[in-house]
Each structure stands twice: as structure tokens, then as C-alpha cells.
């Protein structure tokens, strides 16, 4: 019988994490009389002696519409490769996974629910192999986790990106400009694709389809010839030109500015030069992660949270909740670590092309 | 080969109809070089001599985010039972379906795309049996069409209803009130269920689950005992009490006010009397139909519109586009006329019950 | 020197009250090293022995964007006329104002800040005459308090009402309907006037300008003659027809439904009959009170809260903060109890008439 | 008598310009029976032979909520200093103001209404001195025009910036980050100040108050000491450090990326280094210009548009409409070219300091 469940949130935050926490607490209490404690800062919280956060109906009351995660998300690394600074100043990566297991015992956790992305699921999966009682909830605003049709946070990110396109459209039209909007998506272009179609983009550049800038220039010229003097271009941060194998995205260390934009500036400058058009670049950045989850994401996060508790009750360690169509499924965590990509020949891209959207 | 496609929108409007029209026009032009004309006011437009609306890229440019339908939606009845007023003042229902077919010929339509709900699909299906070349696009903000997981307009309605709950929550809490919100759903309670879960409702009353008002009163008292002095109750317009076979929804003729509320007032008054709580009732009404479609609905409507054109190209008369999971499907129109209900024992309701939501 | 300040919120809640509370707590702590305690449920909290709410930086951290008031607003009446039920079941109104003063002493309050409308200011003003150390912050979403140009909550209510008009517009246009929207304003029509202009209304019915329904019918016919087949009519709850001295607004006791709508149904039915148009009525009700305050209201509430603390520091008992243009002022509370009405001949109404809006 | 009024919009676009155009057309038609024609692309439209846009009730029907300007805003320079390319490739600035006056005659304009910022008003003022019949409507989302309390577009920009802060807050809190948000304001910091207060910023850096980065670092450390591990910093694009006379804002020619950010990166990098905190920078950019105007801005733009027509009727050439408190005023255009700055010692800044916000 399950008496005490731990929950942690790993990786970057996503709108809906707090709704998962709320659903876990309510379902555990009502269906199984179990209590829930929150582990802070992802797996780091299993490696410190900080007391866990006691969670009950009162403490989760206002969490449903609240963005972010009250459990925090400042990971310092996997328990299998934790950065440890030695007295002599050198840094080593140490396997402290046994400590994590021990801490779960010390906290008298009958089970642990982890909400996270592919990295978090990979860690959790290895801990399960060592005997840990863990079930998973998929989380990524990029929607690039295999085995689930959709993840919470994605719809909210789409909404933020589409609203940005709506805003850019009016000023683009007034000033006859080409507006470049960079959205999240280092490996997979789901946000760019869906927000691009919903926001009326003329070109969408994705990691999965290397682009030819001349195709985008041609599109701008075609639009102009047809009487439309502005254009909207959506660029996923992981997009890259044909033949450009290297990633243009720079995740600089020690520099706040280095994290901002990269490929979108290259695209913007190229358009400005070649297409004889006035260009402006906007990098949406962290705005996509924040804010209140949409009703869809609150609903999905709530379903995932409640289902995870049932999964615990059934002792399905190593399994992760997932959605297929409208149906909740259980799938092995380890398979979820494969990324899900936009199919360049698939139905979604074809629909966009039908409308005249170019992919470069 | 298809040269000229007609499009009409039947029944009540839904956010996303204009996005369907836009996608049809763009896809027809780009993929098949076909032109599109708009038939105004649903099937009525096939029974008048008013010229159709010429639609091209310029005329659909701003339609993506625009609510409603530029084609209008003032149906006066089915072509199979059209109300005709006789010179002597009597009113008769006349079968004018042959005229509708003839008009399609006169307009030189190679095909007709109809976007509508179960009633519209039933009419279209009968016309197809008479030889008409029609394909369908499902439309209902109630999401109660069989054979498709979801319809556009539903997500937008959910968002409007959830935002209303968010607003009511703050004032309910300040004044320690029970807030009753009536949402659409005469036959099926999808909006009430999904918005109720997303908006943190304490009770959800659906047509599919006859309610016992005492269960709702008990819930309010339980909340109060646990220290929460306010509550949120969502009521679908078609909800009814156990044993109350009759529909409380009154669709009065000739009276603007008669259309407003019904069951929600009964619920509100009963709570006020029995639960010793200060109650306020809000009827969301037509606010749910209006406004800009959400990004999700723009995306879905766009996919449906583009797919309908391909369906025309393949001469799949009598078929309707549909969505299963993330996959576009084609299904027979006539089967779409069966309604889709919330399963009282299903996963959705069970999740809500897990959280402590009562269904009366 | 001020060491301990009480704060209470009286009357109906308004978006921005929590921002006032936050600003009071932060300003008191930083500028004067004073602590703040919250009195619950308006003046009722001065008449119970319930402990006040201790407020500090941590407890007000998330209050800025939060609607409603954490102090509650369930008034049971003025301390000068408190409803008291006698053992024999009869109900009397008793003056318990001395108890309220005593309670302020017992709580060791050096001052009290009250945020409220005209009723609250009238009570506070009388208490000041009895020696209480009170300053005021004006609050009314109706914006009908004299001596201040604007109050917080009003901008938020305008936004909710304007968004409702935006939503109704799309469905009105699709169905060629006349949409009647009832908004708050029993005595003064500010919300109706400002939201009506911002939302593109064709007619606005205010308490200050008795209406002739035939003028509204004529407007609908003029629009139709000019090719526009829908119309939007905004009705303040306190509007009434020419010659109709009585108020149509019914604030029924013991009935949840009685509180809903009144005049808007009369208007809707009259239009339906006389103007040969399909009419729908929406009553916005409590949606106008709720939700997150707009940035403007957060800003204004913050300024008012901070200024009230300075007013306390200056011992300006009986004064209320106010805004004239962009300038913060101090005015006598008692004068604020006069209502501010829309001037039927003034500049605001004239601008609306210039655009073709009729006032009935 | 006025029969024909021209209208043009100069400078950058702002939400509300279309509402001005609508109000001008409706008021001209209804009050004075005058027709209105739109001059495209600001003063450039007076220097080309392109036909003006005929504006009537039908063509302005949907303009109220629409962002941007249908008249376009691609200025190529003042008529007093127009860039002209000579056959030999050299570029000269030529005074073509007489041509502009002549074109107004040729178009048979009895008057011209110009909506624009300080630059536009300076040009218009000089044309009036040459005999042109022009009245002005102030426009700047920066709110930095003297003689009017507020301009339309400003409230919308504040809303966009405040929503961005709301979004950044949730993710900042989850990840214990310092979030730097750059907003518009090269010369005046109104947007930064008002959005900063409304969005709960901890530090606000303005052009009017040179900042010391150590003060911001100290604030971050103070917050951390008090238990709050995240912070929000708003930076106006024209902010600069103490002693740093030079502007950090770089408006590069020929480079899309050069227009993005500058000072906010410097601030972000400095914080990252000195305050031992994880920093992320977001540049809001053109998102602030776009989108639907708020109800407040629709109302203000409508009042300004209607008032400008009355000003034309009264032959008040060289005057501009303005708002003081709630009162519409007329002021000389030429005086409006003086900028309005945030007073570092004024009431607004003091309120912010009262709350604990630092200005660097």
C-alpha cells in the first residue's frame, strides 16, 4: 500500500507543472489516502538534506492556473554524473546515484513521480533499473517527446508565439516590413510549425528541413508582386541552411547575451541584403516558457498528474503516462527518450505547403 | 478536373469558420488552380438568386484570426423542409431540394464544401444521395460530433469559459460566494467538463449525468468544513436533475429573454436555499461563440479546410474530414450525425472525480 | 510616530484591491518601519474578536496581479446600523460604532486605511468625527466617486466589457443579430459609455439619459438601410426609459436568479418585437468584478496604496487619496460620497454622438 | 465650409491609429457632411501622384480594434529635407515643401489632419507657417510628447510589456534567475517605469536616471538575503550607466540584427558576472508596437479623431488636440515637439522607490 509519494520536476520549467503537482496531491489524498511531499530542484533535491516540501490540499489550492513550478528547477546535473568540486579546485563528475536511492529510502518514499523531458526520463529509467520506484510524467514545451501525441506547455507556447505573430503582423503591414520571429525548438520544429500556420506565416524554417535563403527571398518577392508588401518568417532556434551542418545556436557560458538569438539574425541580415526589404528580428525567448497555462494545458497536466498516481498504485515502475488521441496510455520511460521530429514529407508540412507557406 | 468549388457554412457560427474558408481558397488555387465561390447564409443561399461571393487570395487575407463567418449563417430551414408562407397566411414546409441541386448546376459548381454540424451533415448527406457533389467539414463548438476527436471552435469556447471561471474565482473568494456558471451544451456536456476541470470547478453538472442538488450542497458544506468558503459550479445548459426527464432549457420563440438561462437559475436558487450560501449566477451565452479562434482552432480549421479540397479532388462525395489523434481521416457524413456524449464512467469523468469534483 | 497600521476593504471587491494592500505593506515597512495588519471582512472585522491578518513582504509577494481582496468583503452592515438578531427572533439595527473604535484601540492601531466606495467613505467619515484615525482609498469599478478622475478596477471592468463586445460582434455579424449587452452601473453609466465607445456599440443606454426604445429601433433600421445587418447595444443595469421613473433593476432577496438582468431583457424583447430583428441578450454580471487587474489598475492601485501610507504619516485623518489628471491629491472623505455622473451634454457623450452612437 | 479633409499618419505606427482614422471619417460625415481621403505613407504620399484612399463608413467599419495604420507609415523623410538620388549616384537632401503644398491643392483638400509624433508635428508646423491648413493628433507609444498627459498606443505598449513581465516572473522564480527585459524608450523611460511598477519589477533603468550597476547587484543580493531568489529588471533601450554619456542603443544601417538590444545585454552580462546569478535577457522590440489597441487606447484615439475634425471646422490651423486630466484641449503643434521626460524626483519615481524598486 502506498502511503507517501514524492514528486519532483526536472529540466526547464513548463506551464502546467504546477497543475500536475496539484492533481497528484488531490488524487493521492482522495483515491488512496496517500500523502505527497515535494522534492525541490529536480534530482538535486535528492542529493541534499534540505527537508522536502509538505504538500496538501491547502498548499496546492491556487496552483492550477499558475505558471512555472513551485518545486524549482535548478538542476546541477544527473546523479550519474554530478559535478563535484574537489578541495584542490578541480572539478569531477561523480556517480552519486546510490545516494539518491538512499535518500528516497530515508525520506520513506513509497514511490517517486518525476515530471520531466527526455533527459529526466533517461535518468529516472536508470534509477528504476537500480530498484527505484519511479513513474514518469512527460514534460517539454517543444513537444518533441516520442510516444505521446502532445505534452502540456506546448499549447501555451504556441499561443504565446501566435500572439506574437498577430502583433508583428499589424506593424509589418504598416511599415511594409519582413518580420523574423525566432521561437524555441533546437532539435524539433513543432512550435515553429504550428504557430507559423496559426499565425499566418509566409515562411517557416525548421531544424528538420534545411533551408535555402533564396527560396525565402523568392517568396517575399512573389508576395510583393501579388500586392502584399509585408511578410512574416518564423524561425526555430535550431534551423540551419542547406549544407550548413553546424548548429548556429550558441549556448554560451558566462554570457547572458550569447544565449539570445543566432540563426534568426543570420536569416534577417540575409533577407535584408538579398530581398531589398526592411527587416526586423524578434527573439521570443523565455516568454514562451512563462505565464499561465492555457485551459488545454491545465486539462492535460491534470490528467497526467492524476494518471501518474494510479500508475504508482499499480506499481508500474519505469512507466510514463502518455496521450494517444484522446486516450491515456502507459509507455516505458526509456523509450520516451527518443525525440519526435517533424516529418518533412508528412501531413502537417504538406498542409502548410498547400497554403503557400515555404520551408526554405 | 475541378475548376470551381462552392463553400457554405451551416448552423450556428463557430470560431474557425473563416479560417476554413481561407484554407479552402488558398489550397484550391495553389494545388489545383481552382476558383472558389462563397454561398451566403447556408443552404438558403442555394435557394435564392443572390450572386455568390467571389473568393480569392486577397479577399481571404485577413480571415485567419477572425471569428464568425463572412458567409453568414442565417438558415431558414432545410431544403427538404423549407418554411414557405402561402398567400393566405398559412405556413407550409416544402421540399425544395431539387431547386438546390439545380442552383448548384446553374452556378457551375464542380463541387460543394459544407461546413456544419450534425443537422447540416444530415441535409448534405441526403443531397449527395440525390447526386450532389458535396464533401463535409465538421463544425460544432460543443464538440459533440461523432467520428472526429475534436472540432474547431471547441478550444475557443473552452478558453472563454475557463477565463470566466478564473474571473469568478477571485470575486467568489472575496465575497465567500457560490458562483454558478452556465455554459453551452444542450445534449452533450463537453464544454462544461473540460472548462470545469481547467477552471478549478467544484461541481460540474452535465446532460449525461442527472444531478442530485443535495450532492452539490454537501460538496459546498465539505469545502466550508475544510476552510474554503467559496465554490464554483459549472452547469451545462442541458443539465437536469435526477428524475427530471424534462429539459429545463427553454428556447422561447419571440422572446429575447426566454433564451437566457433556465437550469442555472434553478440550480442557483436551490443552492441559495439549501446550502445557506450567497449565490450568483452567470450565463455565458453567446460570448462562447464569438471572438478570435485560439491558435489550436486556427490550426485545426486550416487543416480541415485544406483536406476538404483534396477530398473534392478525389471525388469523395459524401465524405467528411475528421481528426483521430493527430491523423486526418475521411468518414461518411451520415455517420457524423450521431452525437458524441460524455461517458459517465469514462476516463475524463473519472479524472475529475479523482480531484474531488462532484457531478451531482 | 506610526508603528502599526490597519487596513480593511469595504463593499464589493474590485480588481486592484490586493495591489493596494501590497503597496501599503511595502511602503509602510520601507518608508516608516511600520507594520501592517489586515482587518477581515470590512468593518465587520472591527466588530469580531477574530485575530487580524499579519501582513509582511512575504505575504504580499504575489498580490500585485491577483484580483479580489485577500481581506474578504462580506459586510453585514455599517457599525452605525448593524443588524442584530434578538433572542425572540426579531431583527434590530444597532449603533455599535463605539465598539469599532474600541477594537481599533485594542488592536493598538495607530491608524486605519480603508479602501472602499461611497458607502464605506461615509461610514469612515463618521468614525473620524468620533475620533478615529482613518484615511481613505477610493474604490469602485463604476468610477462614480466624486473628486477623483478615476478609480482602480474601472479600467479592468472596461476591458472585460469591451472584450465581450468584440466577441459578440463576430457572432452578431454572422447571424445578422442585434446583441444586447448589460453591464454594471446602477446609478452612473461610465462602464457602458466607455466600453460602448471602445467596443463599437451602436446604442448605449445609461441611467443618466432616459431612453426612447424607438430611437434604438430607428438606429437598427438605419444601419440595415446602410447595409449593416447587425447591431450592438450596451445597456447599463440602471438604465430606464423616458417617463419610467422606477428602476427596472431588481436586487431580489433570497433569489439567485432575481439578481440577473432586468432592464436588458425589457430592451431585448422590445427590440425583437418592434425592430423585426433577431435579438440575443447577455448579462455580463460578476465577470466584470473579477480577474487580474489591468496594468493601468495595478499602477493606480499601487500609487493609491503608497500615498495612503504617506497620508497616515502626515496624520491627515478623514482625507482620501484621489487622482486629478496625473496628479495625486488629498480630498475630504465626506465629499467623496457624492456620486459622479455622466454629463448628458458633456464632451464624452458628444464624442459618442459624433460617431453616430445613439443614447435612445 | 469644409468639404474634403485629408488624413495622414507619420512616423512609426502605434495601436490606435486606425481608430483615429475611423473617428475622423465618421465625425466628418455625420457632423459636417465632409468626405475624407487618406494620404498613404505619411508625407511621402503628398509627394507622389498615387491616388489617395477614399474613406467612408464602409471602409472604416472594422478599424476600431485593428492595430497599425491602413495608410501605411514608410516615410522617406521630411518634405523639407527629402533624399533625392541624382543621376550620378550622389544623394542630396532637397526642400520639396512647395510641392507638398501644391499637392494638397491639387487634391482639393480643405484641410489636412496629421497624426504623428514630435518629428511629424515639427514638419506640420512649418507647413502651417507656409499657409497649409493642418491640425494635429499626437501619436507616440513612448508617451513623451509634451502638452498632453497621455497618447494612444502607450497603454497598449504598457500592457504588452507588463504581460511579458508576468510571463518572465513564473520562469524566473522556477529557475532562480534574474530576468532582464528591454522595452522601448530611447529618450524617455515612461514605458519602463509604468510597466515596471505594474509588473512587479525590482529594478528599472531609465534614460533619465543614469544607473550604477552595483546598485542593481546590491538589490539582487538583498532580495536573496530576504529569501527571494529571482529578480526582474526592466531596461529602457535608452538607459545608460553613470558617466556613460554615449548612447548604447545602436540603430545600425543595413543590419537587421544591429537593431536588436544593446544596453540590455550589457546590463545582463554585468549582472551575470558581478551578482553571481543566472541571467536571461529578453528584448521586447516590435511586439510593443503591434496588436489590437486596448479599450483605453481605442477610446482615446476615438476622442482625438473626433476632436480633430471639430478643430478643422473651427479653422484652428497649427493646433493639436491634447488631453489634460479628462479634458480635451487644443495646443500649438510646435510646442508639442518638446519631449516630456520622467522627473527623477517626481511623484511617479518616488512611489516606485517607496515600494523598494531601485533605479540603479
B245: closest CA of chain A, how far (Å): 31
Classify burial at D278, counting beta carbons within 10 Å of its beta carbon; exposed 0-12, middle 13-18, buried 19 or more.
middle
Q: Tell me, what's the pLDDT at D259?
A: 47
D264: closest CA of chain C, how far (Å): 23
Residue A67 to residue D167, Cβ atoms within 8 A: yes
Nearest residue in chain A measured CA to CA from D288: A167
Q: Tell me, what's the pLDDT at D260?
A: 53
Classify burial at D335, counting beta carbons within 10 Å of its beta carbon; exposed 0-12, middle 13-18, buried 19 or more.
middle
Contact with chain C for residue D194, Cβ under 8 A: yes
DSSP letter (8 states) at residue D325: T
3-state secondary structure of B95: coil
Nearest residue in chain C measured CA to CA from B266: C257
Confidence of residue B337 (pLDDT cuts 50, 70, 90): confident
Model confidence at D272: pLDDT above 70: yes
Looking at the fold, whether C173 and C313 belong to one and the same domain comes out as: no
Contact (CB, 8 A) for D210 and D265: no
Q: Which of C90, C344, C357, C13 is nearest to C201 (CA)?
A: C357
Confidence of residue D254 (pLDDT cuts 50, 70, 90): very low
Is residue D350, in this structure, part of any structural domain at all? no
Say whether D142 is catalytic: yes
CA distance B13 to C276: 21
Contact with chain A for residue D253, Cβ under 8 A: no
Confidence of residue B189 (pLDDT cuts 50, 70, 90): very high
A326: closest CA of chain D, how far (Å): 29
Gap between the terminal Cα atoms of chain B: 56
Nearest residue in chain B measured CA to CA from A150: B326
Model confidence at D65: pLDDT above 50: yes
The residue out of B290, B309, B327 marking a domain boundary is: B290
Average pLDDT in chain B:
91
Nearest residue in chain D measured CA to CA from A284: D282
Enumerate neighbours of B (3 or more CB pairs within 8 A).
A, C
Q: With contacts defined as CB-CB under 8 Å, which chain D residues touch C307?
A: 351
Model confidence at B248: pLDDT above 60: no
Is residue B40, in this structure, part of any structural domain at all? yes
Give catalytic residue positions of B: 142
Alpha carbon of D2 to those of C315, D83, D112, D331: distances in Å? 58, 34, 11, 21
Any alpha helices (H) in chain A, and if so which ranges? 17-32, 97-106, 118-129, 154-175, 190-198, 213-225, 263-274, 295-313, 347-354
Looking at the fold, whether C163 and C143 belong to one and the same domain comes out as: no
Question: What helix, strand, coil percent values describe chain C, rounded to 5?
Answer: 40, 20, 40
Residue D286 to residue A160, Cβ atoms within 8 A: no
Average pLDDT in chain C:
91
Lowest mean pLDDT across C17-31, C80-94, C151-165, D27-41 = C80-94
Residue A12 to residue D286, Cβ atoms within 8 A: no
Contact with chain A for residue D179, Cβ under 8 A: yes
Report the DSSP beta bridge partners of residue B114.
B8, B136
Q: Tell me the residue range of the domain where D299 lies.
A: 4-152+293-337
Q: With contacts defined as CB-CB under 8 Å, which chain D residues touch A168?
A: 286-287, 290
A106: closest CA of chain D, how far (Å): 26
Q: With contacts defined as CB-CB under 8 Å, which chain A residues touch B57?
A: 226
Looking at the fold, whether A179 and A214 belong to one and the same domain comes out as: yes
Q: Which member of D58, D65, D226 has the closest CB to residue C166?
A: D65
CA distance D163 to D199: 7
Contacts of C89 (CB under 8 A, 6+ apart): none
Active-site annotation holder among C44, C142, C155, C202: C142
Looking at the fold, whether B200 and B133 belong to one and the same domain comes out as: no
The number of distinct structural domains making up chain B is 2
Is residue D352, in this structure, part of any structural domain at all? no
The interface pTM score, or ipTM, of the predicted complex is: 0.93
- Residues B163, B168, B173, CA angle at the centre, nearest 5°? 135
Is residue D44, in this structure, part of any structural domain at all? yes
Contact with chain D for residue C105, Cβ under 8 A: no
CA distance D238 to D246: 10
Is residue C354, in this structure, part of any structural domain at all? no
CA distance A82 to A85: 10
Model confidence at C11: pLDDT above 90: no
Top-confidence range, A274-288, B244-258, D154-168, D274-288:
D154-168
Model confidence at A249: pLDDT above 60: no
Looking at the fold, whether C275 and C166 belong to one and the same domain comes out as: yes
Residue A294 to residue B159, Cβ atoms within 8 A: yes
Q: With contacts defined as CB-CB under 8 Å, which chain D residues touch A255?
A: 269, 272
Q: pTM of this prediction?
A: 0.94
Is residue B240, in this structure, part of any structural domain at all? yes
Q: Tell me, what's the pLDDT at A77?
A: 78
Model confidence at B88: pLDDT above 70: yes
Contact (CB, 8 A) for B142 and B191: yes
Residue B200 to residue A149, Cβ atoms within 8 A: no
Looking at the fold, whether B177 and B274 belong to one and the same domain comes out as: yes
Window 335-354 of C: residues touching B by CB (8 A cutoff) are none
Q: Which of C68, C298, C44 is nearest to B173 (CA)?
A: C68
CA distance D354 to D346: 12
Q: Is beta strand B231-236 parallel, antiparallel or unpaired with respect to B203-205? A: parallel
Residue C174 to residue B72, Cβ atoms within 8 A: yes
Chain segment A202-221, per-residue pLDDT in tens: 999 999 999 999 999 999 99
Nearest residue in chain B measured CA to CA from C71: B174
Q: Which of C259, C261, C279 is nearest to C269 (CA)?
A: C279
Looking at the fold, whether B147 and B187 belong to one and the same domain comes out as: no
Q: Is beta strand B327-332 parallel, antiparallel or unpaired with respect to B319-324? A: antiparallel
Top-confidence range, A214-223, A246-255, B259-268, C237-246:
A214-223
Enumerate neighbours of D (3 or more CB pairs within 8 A).
A, C
Contact with chain D for residue A180, Cβ under 8 A: yes
Chain segment A126-146, per-residue pLDDT in tens: 999 999 999 999 999 898 888
Contacts of C87 (CB under 8 A, 6+ apart): none
Q: With contacts defined as CB-CB under 8 Å, which chain D residues touch A66?
A: 170
Contact with chain D for residue A15, Cβ under 8 A: yes
Contact with chain A for residue D297, Cβ under 8 A: no
C-alpha cell at D216: 542593481
Question: What helix, strand, coil percent values describe chain B, rounded to 5?
Answer: 40, 20, 40
Nearest residue in chain A measured CA to CA from D279: A256
Q: Which of D18, D355, D357 is the mutation pick for testing C, counting most C CBs within 10 A?
A: D355
Confidence of residue B261 (pLDDT cuts 50, 70, 90): low
Percent of chain B with pLDDT over 70: 95
Is residue C186, in this structure, part of any structural domain at all? yes
3-state secondary structure of A65: coil
Model confidence at D72: pLDDT above 60: yes
Contact with chain B for residue A285, Cβ under 8 A: no
Looking at the fold, whether D259 and D300 belong to one and the same domain comes out as: no
Q: With contacts defined as CB-CB under 8 Å, which chain D residues touch A166?
A: 290-291
Higher pLDDT, C360 or A157: A157
Residue B299 to residue A27, Cβ atoms within 8 A: no
* Averaged pLDDT, D18-24: 98
Model confidence at A5: pLDDT above 90: yes
Q: Tell me, what's the pLDDT at C147?
A: 86
Looking at the fold, whether A172 and A138 belong to one and the same domain comes out as: no
Model confidence at C253: pLDDT above 80: no
Average pLDDT in chain D:
91
Confidence of residue B74 (pLDDT cuts 50, 70, 90): confident
Model confidence at B258: pLDDT above 90: no
Contact with chain A for residue D3, Cβ under 8 A: no
Contacts of D352 (CB under 8 A, 6+ apart): D193, D196, D197, D204, D359
C286: closest CA of chain D, how far (Å): 19
Q: Which of D24, D26, D167, D295 is the mutation pick for testing C, counting most C CBs within 10 A?
A: D295
- Residues A77, A245, A252, CA angle at the centre, nearest 5°? 40
Looking at the fold, whether C235 and C286 belong to one and the same domain comes out as: yes
Looking at the fold, whether C326 and C208 belong to one and the same domain comes out as: no
Lowest mean pLDDT across B224-238, C105-119, C233-247 = C233-247
The CATH number of the domain holding residue D39 is: 3.40.50.450
Residue C265 to residue B257, Cβ atoms within 8 A: yes
Looking at the fold, whether A279 and A332 belong to one and the same domain comes out as: no
Is residue D356, in this structure, part of any structural domain at all? no
The CATH number of the domain holding residue B176 is: 3.40.50.460
Residue A303 to residue B351, Cβ atoms within 8 A: yes
Model confidence at A156: pLDDT above 70: yes
Residue C281 to residue B256, Cβ atoms within 8 A: yes
Confidence of residue D335 (pLDDT cuts 50, 70, 90): confident
Chain segment C147-181, per-residue pLDDT in tens: 899 999 999 999 999 999 999 999 999 999 999 99
Q: Tell me, what's the pLDDT at B86?
A: 86
Q: With contacts defined as CB-CB under 8 Å, which chain B residues touch A299?
A: 194, 197-198
B293: closest CA of chain A, how far (Å): 10
Confidence of residue B68 (pLDDT cuts 50, 70, 90): very high
Q: With contacts defined as CB-CB under 8 Å, which chain B residues touch C271?
A: 256
CA distance A65 to A55: 17
Chain segment D75-112, per-residue pLDDT in tens: 777 999 988 888 888 888 899 999 999 999 999 999 99
Confidence of residue B326 (pLDDT cuts 50, 70, 90): confident
3-state secondary structure of A186: coil
Residue C354 to residue D65, Cβ atoms within 8 A: no
Confidence of residue B358 (pLDDT cuts 50, 70, 90): very high
Nearest residue in chain A measured CA to CA from B57: A226
Amino acid at each position: 500500500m502506498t502511503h507517501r509519494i514524492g514528486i519532483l520536476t526536472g529540466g526547464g520549467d513548463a506551464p502546467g507543472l504546477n497543475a500536475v503537482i496539484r492533481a497528484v496531491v488531490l488524487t493521492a489524498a482522495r483515491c488512496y489516502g496517500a500523502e505527497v511531499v515535494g522534492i525541490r530542484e529536480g534530482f538535486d533535491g535528492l542529493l541534499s538534506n534540505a527537508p522536502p516540501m509538505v504538500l496538501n490540499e491547502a498548499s496546492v489550492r491556487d496552483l492550477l492556473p499558475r505558471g512555472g513550478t513551485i518545486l524549482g528547477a535548478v538542476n546541477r546535473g544527473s546523479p550519474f554524473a554530478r559535478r563535484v568540486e574537489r578541495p584542490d579546485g578541480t572539478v569531477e563528475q561523480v556517480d552519486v546515484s546510490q545516494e539518491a536511492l538512499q535518500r528516497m529510502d530515508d525520506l520513506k518514499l513509497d514511490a517517486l513521480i518525476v515530471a520531466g523531458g527526455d533527459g529526466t526520463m533517461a535518468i529516472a529509467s536508470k534509477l528504476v533499473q537500480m530498484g527505484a520506484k519511479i513513474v514518469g510524467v512527460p514534460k517539454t514545451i517543444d513537444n518533441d517527446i516520442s510516444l505521446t501525441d502532445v505534452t502540456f506547455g506546448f499549447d501555451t507556447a504556441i499561443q504565446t508565439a501566435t500572439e506574437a505573430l498577430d502583433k508583428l503582423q499589424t506593424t509589418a503591414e504598416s511599415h511594409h516590413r519582413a518580420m523574423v520571429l525566432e521561437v524555441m525548438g533546437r532539435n524539433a520544429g513543432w512550435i515553429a510549425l504550428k504557430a507559423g500556420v496559426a499565425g499566418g506565416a509566409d515562411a517557416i524554417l525548421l531544424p528538420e528541413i534545411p533551408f535555402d535563403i533564396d527560396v525565402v527571398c523568392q517568396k517575399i518577392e512573389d508576395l510583393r508582386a501579388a500586392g502584399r508588401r509585408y511578410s512574416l518568417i518564423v524561425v526555430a532556434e535550431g534551423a540551419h541552411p542547406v549544407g550548413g551542418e553546424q548548429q548556429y545556436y550558441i549556448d554560451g557560458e558566462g554570457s547572458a547575451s550569447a544565449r539570445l538569438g543566432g540563426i534568426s539574425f543570420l536569416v534577417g541580415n540575409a533577407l535584408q541584403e538579398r530581398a531589398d526589404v526592411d527587416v526586423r528580428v524578434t527573439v521570443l525567448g523565455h516568454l514562451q516558457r512563462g505565464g499561465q497555462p492555457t485551459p488545454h494545458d491545465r486539462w492535460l497536466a491534470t490528467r497526467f498528474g492524476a494518471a501518474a498516481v494510479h500508475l504508482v498504485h499499480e506499481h508500474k515502475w519505469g512507466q510514463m503516462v502518455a496521450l494517444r488521441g484522446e486516450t491515456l496510455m502507459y509507455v516505458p520511460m526509456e523509450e520516451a527518450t527518443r525525440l519526435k521530429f517533424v516529418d518533412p514529407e508528412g501531413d502537417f508540412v504538406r498542409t502548410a505547403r498547400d497554403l503557400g507557406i515555404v520551408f526554405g
